[in-house]
Every structure is written in C-alpha cells, then in structure tokens.
Chain A
Amino acid sequence: MKAGDRLIGSSAEVRIKRRSSPCVLLVLIAFCFSACSRPAQTTGELRVTIKSDPKTFNPLMAEDDSSDIVRYLTGGVLIRVNRKTQENQPELATSWTIDENGRRITLNLRPGIKFSDGTDFTAEDAVATLKAALDPNLHSPKGDAFRAGGAATVEAHRKDKISIEFEHPIAGLERLFDEIAISPSRMAGKADSSVVLGPFSVGEQKAGEYVLLRRNPYYWKRDDSGHQLPYLNAVRLYVLSNRDTELIRFRQGDIQLINSMSPDLYEQLHSEDASAARDLGPSVEPEELWFNEVRKSPLPEYKKNWLRSRNFRRAMSMAINRADLARVALRGHATPSIGIVSPANRFWFNQNLQPTPYDPNGALELLKQDGFRKDGDVLKDKAGHPVSFSLITNAGNKPRERMGSLVQQDLQQIGITVNFIPLDFPSIIERVTRTFNYDAVLLGFTNVDLDPNAQMNVWLSSADLHEWNPAQKIPETQWEAEIDKYMRAQASTLDRKQRKLAFDRVQEIAAEESPTIHLVDKNALVAVSPRVKNADPVVLTPQTYWNIEYLSLGK
C-alpha cells in the first residue's frame, strides 16, 4: 500500500454458499500443478521487501502493512480466504456451521496440530485468541469487524469444537476469521508471532534492515506426496521503502518477488526481462476524485454551491478523458472505471451500469443548466466568478501526479482552471478529515475486502469516512438518505440476492450523483524471479506470496 492508499476491509470476497464443486476442482488443479514442480527437500531463503519496520508482531494488533504481511506469513487461521479462488478454505477449522440467522458460528477444529514450539493446539487457544480480539480494551483492529456484532459469547464445547454467538447477525461472518491468527492461550492478547500455527515464525529482527521468518518445523500442512510444508527454510523481509532500490536489488538477484509495482518500474523491468514482469490484469484498486461537499467548510459560498451541485460533478466526470488517464498516466496498465465497483469484483459489480462517455460538449450543456456560461476561454458561474478550483493529491506517486496533470488539461478544455497541488500525506489527511479546507482531492484506494459490508464506514452518511461530507447527523440530501437505506438493507440480510439488489441500487445512485468520481481501476503488476518455483501471483494481497507454503527456490 503506497502512502495515500486506504484499505477497505482486509480479506477477500467470500460467498455465503459453501464451496461448490467447480471450485474444489480448481483447487485440485492448482495442487496438481504445484506438485509437478515440487522440490525434493526444503530450499533456501526467499527474500522480499516490506516498506517499513512492522509496528507490532502481535497479529491481533497489526494495522500497518508490514505488520499485516508478517501476520499473514506467520499466522495460522481457522478459515482462510483463498486468494486465488476467493473462496473460504478450511485451515485450522475443518468445517463450520452458521445458524441462529447468522448470529452463531460453530467451528470444528483440526486435530493433532502443534504450535511452532511443539506444544499442542487446543480449543482453549482458539477461544482465548477470539476473546482477546473481542476485548474492547485491547482495541484490536482485527477484532473490529467482530465487535460490530455486539456482545458475543465464545465457548469451547469439546477439545476440538468452539462456537461464537453474537447479539446481531454479521453478513459474511466466516471471511472475518481470515484475519485472526490463533496464538497460544498463555499469550492471548500479547502474542509476538514467535510461537505460531502458520508456516513461518518470527526469528530475528534487525530494525530498519530486515525481519527474518524461520520455517515452522511443526507446520501441519503437507503437499500431496506427504512432504511437510513449507518448502522454504526462511523468508527474509527486507525493510526497503524506495521502490527504485527494490527493483535494482531485484535485478541484482537479491530479492525474488515484488508486489504492486508502479507502471513505470514495471515497464522498465518488462523492457529488460519480459518473463519476470507480470501484468495480472484489473485489480480492485480504483483511483478516484471527489469534491468537498462539507457545509461548514471554509470555502466561499459560491464555490460550495458548485461542488454541491450534481450537474457540476457529473459535468466534471464527463469532461475527464478516462481512456487517456489509463493509457498515458498508467501506461496502459489500467482500465477506465465504470462505477464505484471494479468489474474485477465480479459478483458485486452492477452489470447494468454504463461507462461515463468522454464528452466535453455534453459537460458544457450540463453546466449551462446550472447557469454556467463560457466567457471567451473562461467558464463563469451565474454571478460571474471564473470557475477555478484546486485539486490536491499525495506527492511522490508519479502516475497519480500525471493523472492530475491530465485532468488539469482536460478541464482547461472547457474553460476551468485547476490548480493541481501535490501535498505530503499528513497534510492531505488533515485537510480531508479535519479542516475540510480543500476543493477536490485525487487519491487511490486498495479494496481488499470485496464485500460491501466492509464499506459501511464510507457509504453511510453518518460515517466519519463518508469522504465528501463525513459525519452528517441526519442525511443532508435525499440521495444520501437513500444510500443509507440500501446499505443498511444489504447489511441486515443474509440473502445474497437481496444484498446484491440493494448494493446495485447504491451503485446506480452513486453513478447518478457522482459524489466520488471513479477514474480508473489499476492493473495488478508484479515481478517474479525465475528462481521462484510454484509462483502463482494473484490480484489480491499478498499478490506474489499468498501461497507461501508452496513456494520454493531453484538455482
């Protein structure tokens, strides 16, 4: 996640229905494929990068990217969301049932599993970890989504069976377990990833340089020929924040995998070694622009009127050449957005939405309805104010800065002056979330959870992350009230069809009102060294090493 990106939810999409047979087949094929190139014994040390020192090794407290990567590589979870099939996959829990209208989940635990220090894993450990996640005093970011279900009771029924019962139902409950790494009960709430159930445990750390993860000798998974996983002896996470340096070291053979490359570095690598650079196609990482619609913002009244006008926002959306943004700013590694949901999010994307055409004249027509007039080369509003606004973005992201320049030129075509100003990230956050002293902002987001439930904090008008006009006491507009209604509707039912219908409506309203203008959906770009065997990169994080236990290194 680059600075300026935001996480929406953190696990992949989950279908309520249990695993269907075609998906089992897919998993099987994947396994067979991996078996073909399976090495005979454990091999070497895989080296990848993290952007900063992990803030914590406590998997329940992981909030920053680096801590989350360590959590993913070390933590054993009850249910995993398979990053490739996007299905729930049994891990420490062999099966589960949901009843009481989605208020209770009962999980059967896998028997005979040991922690990395050789001690036995029991129901007690799972219960203690879940209790810690639910503990309001611990403020576990990973437990947040569980706490939305109100008061909860966690119980161990036998040595290998546990259940959690919530006050309210939680739609898509199982997918939340993907984030909860189980720690020994004696360490619950203050675990440090040294004793784990995942493929690796934290070995040593040299601050500012690396974190070394060592193979868990008691890891429970085996490949289909019975060989114990993981194949790798160790994973070294170099702390490298500079992406140029990362690529240089990749080419020198010092690093074997790179996630989320920028289009510039991708092109550079591609021109030298086309087989190492891989474009995985559309991801769920939109670039979007929104206008400040906050009533009490310090902007002049006439400007607030522009930004709060639907026609104005729609006109801006039409006047921006999205195809050029994708082709020029992202060097072709993106597709123009259609709506607030990427088509890559296959289930939740509303198929009926039409792409916004690039139509400067149509934009001018819309603006005329609001009394805007072209005066020579300058667009002026009813009162004669020349139309000019500032567009801020986080500095240092070259593709995004190019997008800003393109938007600036596109809007110049219809007589609007855009002052495009990259700022450092804390300044952006302050302006967007506290002082509301901005006109428009361009940012990119990382949607890791494809379920609309993960976006309640954004779409509800009362939410403090309701980007364009947060924390409204009562919805200020009719359409925001409607979005509230549909968002609540999709969250309160477990019927997937009804949820989909409700969220489709949200997408339609968002397209009509354009409170946030989605510009392009970026492609997932990664680099994989030919030395890495069994690599099978996917668009969801952690793209290249989601199947870390099956990776190995050749010569």
Chain B
Amino acid sequence: MSAARWAAVALLAAVFLIALAANLFAPAPYAKQFRQDLNHPPTQQYPLGTDELGRDRLSRLLYGMRISLLLAPAAALLSTLLAAIVGGAGAYIGGVWDRLTNVVINLFLSLPWLFLLLTVRALLPLDVPALTSVVITFALLGTLGWAASARIVAATVRDLRNSEFVLQARASGCPSLRLLLRHVLPNVKPILIAQFWISVPLFILTEANLGMLGLGVTEPLPSWGNLLRELENYGALAHRPWLWAPLISLVLVMSLFQFILSGEEYAS
C-alpha cells in the first residue's frame, strides 16, 4: 500500500474513533439547548456554532456520525448481500428461476414502499426509545433497498454464465460450486462493492427523509442525514458557511473509503 493510502486509512480510523467516542470529544451534550445562544456563529465554546435551538453543532455532528456510521454501512451490507443472493442465484440457476427473480426485482422497484413504512410505524408503539426506532428503520432500509443492485448483479451473472470461459469450465467438468466461487464471484465482486458504496450515503439520506413518517432518528438524537437536511435552509448557507460541515465531512468520509478500496481493486 502506498503512503497516501496509509494516510487515508489512518485518517478514516481517526474519524471512526472520534465518532465512536463522541461522548469524550463532544464539547456539550447533543441535546443541551443553550436557549440564549440561538444560531450562534462559531466561537471557542461552540466550534461549529449552534443550531436554531441553541444546541452545539459540533457535538450533534459527532453523535450523528456515530449513529449513521454504525448503522448505514450495516444496512448497506444487508441490502448488498440480499442483492447478491437474490440477483446472483436467480441468474446463475437460470430458466424459470431467472425470470421469476426478474419479476420480483421489478415489483420491488415499482411498489410504493412509503405505505409499508407507514404501516410499520403504525404497528410499532409510539412510546419507543429513539434508538430502537432508528435501528428498525435501518433494518427496513436494508431489507427493502436491494432490488436495484440485484438487477445489475443478475445481468452480470447472466452474462458470465454464458461467457466462453464459464462454458468451457463447465464443459471440462468443473463442479458448480467451484465454478461459482472461482469464476463467477470474483467477477461480481467489484460490482457488489460499488453498489455497497452507493448505498451507504443513500441510506444515510433516506433515514433523514423517513423522519417525516415518524421513523428514523427522533428528537433530540441527531443523525448525519438530519443534519444534512439543514442545508434546506438555503437562505442561510451563504453567510453561514459552517452549515456545510455535515456535507463536507460526509463527502470526505465516503471519499476516503472509496479511495482505500479503489486502490485495493487496482492492486488485485
């Protein structure tokens, strides 16, 4: 690994550590409202200023990162796995199964899932702790968000199944499992990785949008997605540049991941 990648790994590890130990690094409790200091610009006391309820932005960002950095990748992993299993298996077996998988994927892509989420919210008791609600939300995102990736996986596997080298391997009596592990999987891997990285920020953002259905992180707990939604306050962005901090940090973290992984891809 090059020095640049080592630096990236170190930086990412540091971000993770700081987020995980948010309670040690945060200057103030994330829910504490300094009601005399609303929308305060950055000072020594509030390094990123305060929000409209007077809560310290930096503390909220750190706690928000903790939740989102733990849960969004977990949900993305779940959905990518499902995509690999459903899309890959259907296409690899072929025939009726392939067509059936296709139908299921298409249905998943076209149904109004909003209503399922609403129903889940209605089935849950209202009086649940914020953390339970957010874990359930990410689990839902993971189980519902696989279809688009599955389609791409299926197309690739279908193609591989019919490619010459697989046909040759099959003809020469290579066992099915071995074929799958040795020839098909390695070719699908980069696609799965790409899908995974696209899903992570997507889920972070989707979680924030679900806030209006009563799912996701609820007040006063912050999440990265919720902080990003503050960008909707476009009028303030120009003269309060520190509002961009959640976006910049998210892009930074995502790019670091991307950078480390792409390097490994090139290497292999």
Nearest CB in chain B: distance from A19 CB, A = 44
Whether A421 contacts B220 in the complex (CB less than 8 A), given A264-B233, A402-B53, A405-B53, comes out as no
* Interface residues in chain B, defined as those with a beta carbon under 8 Å from any beta carbon in chain A: 31, 33, 35, 38, 52-54, 118, 121-122, 126-130, 211-214, 218-220, 232-236
- Contact (Cβ within 8 A) B121 A427: yes
Chain B: CB-nearest residue to A428 = B214
- Contact (Cβ within 8 A) B219 A328: no
- Distance, CA A468 to CA B46, complexed state (A): 42
* Interface residues in chain A, defined as those with a beta carbon under 8 Å from any beta carbon in chain B: 244, 264-265, 268, 271, 324, 327-328, 388-390, 392, 395-396, 401-402, 404-406, 408-409, 419-424, 427, 437-439
Q: List 6 A-B contacts (CB under 8 A).
A: A405-B33, A421-B218, A427-B118, A427-B121, A437-B126, A438-B126
- Contact (Cβ within 8 A) B33 A424: no
- Which B residues lie within 8 Å of A389 (CB)? 127
Whether A328 contacts B214 in the complex (CB less than 8 A), given A405-B219, A408-B219, A419-B130, comes out as no
- Which A residues lie within 8 Å of B236 (CB)? 268
Nearest CB in chain A: distance from B253 CB, A = 27
- Which B residues lie within 8 Å of A324 (CB)? 35
- Which A residues lie within 8 Å of B214 (CB)? 392, 395, 421-424, 427
- Contact (Cβ within 8 A) A396 B212: yes
- Which B residues lie within 8 Å of A424 (CB)? 118, 212-214
- Which B residues lie within 8 Å of A396 (CB)? 212
Nearest CB in chain B: distance from A380 CB, A = 16
- Which A residues lie within 8 Å of B232 (CB)? 244
- Distance, CA A210 to CA B29, complexed state (A): 48
A-B contacts besides A405-B33, A409-B220, A424-B212, 18 pairs, CB < 8 Å: A265-B235, A271-B235, A328-B54, A388-B127, A389-B127, A390-B127, A392-B126, A395-B214, A402-B53, A404-B219, A406-B53, A409-B33, A421-B214, A421-B218, A424-B118, A424-B213, A427-B121, A438-B126
- Distance, CA A390 to CA B214, complexed state (A): 11
- Contact (Cβ within 8 A) B213 A395: yes
- Distance, CA A392 to CA B53, complexed state (A): 19
- Contact (Cβ within 8 A) B235 A268: yes
Q: Which of A264, A395, A423, A437 counts the most chain B CB atoms within 10 A? A: A423
- Contact (Cβ within 8 A) A408 B52: no
Q: Which of B35, B38, B235 counts the most chain A CB atoms within 10 A? A: B235
Nearest CB in chain B: distance from A501 CB, A = 40
- Contact (Cβ within 8 A) A439 B126: yes
- Distance, CA A395 to CA B219, complexed state (A): 12
- Contact (Cβ within 8 A) A244 B234: yes
Chain A: CB-nearest residue to B38 = A328
Chain B: CB-nearest residue to A389 = B127
- Distance, CA A395 to CA B208, complexed state (A): 12
Nearest CB in chain B: distance from A442 CB, A = 12
- Distance, CA A408 to CA B32, complexed state (A): 11
Chain B: CB-nearest residue to A321 = B35
- Contact (Cβ within 8 A) A406 B33: yes
- Which A residues lie within 8 Å of B220 (CB)? 405, 408-409
- Contact (Cβ within 8 A) A390 B35: no
- Which B residues lie within 8 Å of A328 (CB)? 33, 35, 38, 52-54
Q: Which of B126, B129, B213 counts the most chain A CB atoms within 10 A? A: B126
- Contact (Cβ within 8 A) B212 A395: yes
- Which B residues lie within 8 Å of A437 (CB)? 126
- Distance, CA A404 to CA B219, complexed state (A): 9
- Which A residues lie within 8 Å of B212 (CB)? 395-396, 422, 424
- Distance, CA A264 to CA B122, complexed state (A): 31
Nearest CB in chain B: distance from A347 CB, A = 35
- Which B residues lie within 8 Å of A404 (CB)? 219
Chain B: CB-nearest residue to A423 = B214
Chain B: CB-nearest residue to A303 = B127
Nearest CB in chain A: distance from B153 CB, A = 34
Nearest CB in chain A: distance from B136 CB, A = 13
Chain B: CB-nearest residue to A299 = B127
Chain A: CB-nearest residue to B126 = A390
- Which A residues lie within 8 Å of B234 (CB)? 244
- Distance, CA A456 to CA B212, complexed state (A): 32
- Distance, CA A124 to CA B202, complexed state (A): 64
- Which B residues lie within 8 Å of A405 (CB)? 33, 53, 219-220
Chain B: CB-nearest residue to A272 = B235
- Distance, CA A423 to CA B234, complexed state (A): 24
Nearest CB in chain A: distance from B208 CB, A = 12
* Candidates A268, A271, A401, A427; contact of B219 at CB < 8 Å: A401
